[in-house]
C-alpha cells in the first residue's frame, strides 16, 4: 500500500526538524531516539545511523519504525508516521546521505563527527500510515461517548 504524504507533512519533513524515531527491542520494549530525517524520492523517508547502534540492530531484526514530530510553537500540531524499513544503504552512499543531512541541519558540507572506523547506514523507510493531528485528538469510533 502506497501512502501519499500531504504537502503539510512533506514541508515538515523538508524542514530541519528533529523527529523522534522509535524502534522495538528484542523483548518488545520501545527504543526512541531524536534523529535528523529527510525525504527520499517521492514518498520514502531517510535517516542515518551507524553499524552496531541499537537502532540499526533493532531494525534489522524488526523493520517496523515509528516517527513523531511536534511543532515547536504548537506541540498540539503533530505528525506521526508508522513505517517499515524498505532498505539499508551502506558504504560511500550512506556517508554521502549523512553529509546531505549535515547540509540540511547544520549548513556544513560534511558530517564532521564521524568516529574512527565508523560505518554509516542510511535507513530508507516506506510510510505505511501517516497522521497529522492538530488540537486535541478525538476518540476512535466506539470509544467513550461524551456525557450529555
Q: 13-58 pLDDT, tens per residue?
A: 999 999 999 999 999 999 999 999 999 988 899 999 999 999 999 9
Q: Which domains does the chain have, with CATH numbers?
A: 7-134 (2.30.110.10)
Count of other CB atoms within 10 angstroms of residue 37: 27
Q: State what percent of residues in the chain have pLDDT above 70.
A: 94
pLDDT band at 113 (very low <50, low <70, confident <90, very high): low
Q: What are phi and psi of 115, to 5 degrees?
A: -90, 150
What is the model's pTM? 0.88
- Cell digits for 7? 504537502
Amino acid at each position: 500500500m502506497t501512502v501519499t504524504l500531504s504537502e503539510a507533512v512533506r514541508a515538515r519533513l523538508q524542514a530541519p526538524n528533529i523527529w523522534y524515531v522509535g524502534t522495538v527491542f528484542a523483548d518488545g520494549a520501545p527504543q526512541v531516539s531524536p534523529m535528523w530525517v529527510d525525504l527520499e524520492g517521492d514518498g520514502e523517508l531517510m535517516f542515518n545511523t551507524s553499524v552496531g547502534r541499537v537502532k540499526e540492530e533493532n531494525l534489522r531484526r524488526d523493520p517496523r519504525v515509528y516517527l513523531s514530530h511536534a511543532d515547536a510553537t504548537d506541540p498540539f500540531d503533530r505528525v506521526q508516521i508508522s513505517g517499515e524499513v524498505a532498505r539499508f544503504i551502506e558504504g560511500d552512499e550512506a556517508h554521502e546521505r549523512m553529509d546531505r543531512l549535515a547540509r540540511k541541519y547544520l549548513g556544513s558540507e560534511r558530517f564532521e563527527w564521524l568516529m574512527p572506523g565508523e560505518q554509516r547506514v542510511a535507513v530508507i523507510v516506506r510510510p505505511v500510515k501517516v497522521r497529522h493531528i492538530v488540537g486535541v485528538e478525538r476518540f476512535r469510533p466506539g470509544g467513550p461517548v461524551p456525557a450529555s
